[in-house]
């Protein structure tokens, strides 16, 4: 885990933390200009509870790095245009006057202010911001380590499952072969039953014919007996 000193000394570490602008409001409310995007040098000084001179000196020493994180220096026509836009927004909010810089104006974004917090040594507010950043990174590292352990356990379980599936493979093959054999036997049984059903149909027809012949024979026998009885009476 990087230390506060490392954060103060390493530009690469500061770049890694540049997206954590939410930390600023966790420490203290940062009052933006009416555009909701920029703050001035005096606003930055007020946030960190230091002098404007301290902020200007730090900005001069790290101008290239701060420019990459959003620092702008307005002069001439750009400055006048910005003042005009801010004055319009300021008046819309009911404020009668807007403080205008005479020759140049340094504008900081929230990313720039966070960058200043990682550079400014003599400010308790800046130290609090750095502490939040480092604590958040440690928490992220802890969650990552926990996730890594969980993934490792899952991989171990999957290894066991793979071995079990390899052992189960031959068993499944044998079961499949037995089921195929059973299917064939059932099919043969169906064929035999079908043949038997046809044979029983033929037998039923034979029984009907025999029954008809027996009825005929019974009637003939009855007639014969009746005629024999009539001859005996004579």
**pTM of the predicted structure, to 2 decimals:** 0.57
**Interior angle at CA 23, CA 70 and CA 112, nearest 5:** 15
Residue-wise pLDDT for 153-190, tens only, equals: 666 666 666 666 677 777 777 888 888 887 888 787 77
Which run of H or E residues covers position 102? none
Which positions ≥6 away from 70 have C-beta within 8 Å?
Answer: 108, 109, 110, 111, 112
The closest of 125, 49, 32 to 86, measured between CA atoms, is 32
Spatial separation of the C-alpha atoms in residues 34 and 46, rounded to whole Å: 17
Weakly modelled stretches of the chain, pLDDT under 50? 140, 144-146
Place of tokens 């020493």: 61
Taking the alpha carbons at both ends of the chain, their separation in whole angstroms is: 139
- Give whole-number Cα distances, 161 to 64, 92, 154, 156, 169, in Å: 56, 68, 10, 9, 12
Q: What is the pLDDT of residue 45?
A: 96
Q: What is the pLDDT of residue 229?
A: 72
Helix (H) and strand (E) counts for the chain?
A: 9, 3
In 25-164, beta strands by DSSP E = 39-40, 72-75, 104-108
Across the beta sheet with 39-40, the strand order is 39-40, 104-108, 72-75
Torsion angle of C-alpha atoms 111, 115, 121, 123, degrees rounded to 10: 0
Residue-wise pLDDT for 18-44, tens only, equals: 989 999 999 999 999 988 899 999 999
């Amino acid at each position: 885990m990087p230390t506060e000193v490392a954060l103060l000394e390493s530009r690469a570490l500061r770049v890694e933390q540049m997206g954590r602008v939410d930390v600023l409001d966790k420490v203290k409310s940062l009052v933006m200009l009416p555009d909701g995007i920029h703050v001035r040098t005096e606003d930055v000084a007020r946030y960190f509870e230091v002098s404007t001179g301290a902020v200007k000196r730090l900005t001069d020493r790290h101008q290239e790095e701060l420019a990459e994180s959003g620092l702008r220096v307005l002069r001439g026509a750009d400055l006048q245009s910005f003042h005009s836009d801010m004055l319009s927004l300021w008046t819309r909010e009911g404020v009668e006057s807007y403080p205008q810089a005479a020759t140049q104006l340094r504008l900081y974004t929230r990313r720039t202010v966070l960058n200043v917090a990682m550079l400014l040594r003599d400010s308790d507010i800046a130290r609090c911001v750095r502490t939040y950043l480092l604590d958040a990174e440690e928490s992220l590292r802890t969650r990552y380590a926990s996730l890594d352990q969980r993934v490792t356990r899952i991989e171990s379980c999957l290894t066991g499952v793979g071995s079990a599936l390899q052992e189960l493979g031959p068993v499944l093959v044998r079961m499949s072969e037995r089921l195929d054999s059973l299917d064939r036997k059932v099919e043969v049984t169906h064929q035999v039953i079908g043949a038997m059903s046809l044979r029983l149909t033929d037998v039923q027809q034979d029984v009907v014919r025999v029954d008809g012949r027996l009825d005929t024979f019974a009637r003939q026998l009855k007639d014969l007996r009746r005629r024999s009885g009539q001859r005996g009476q004579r």
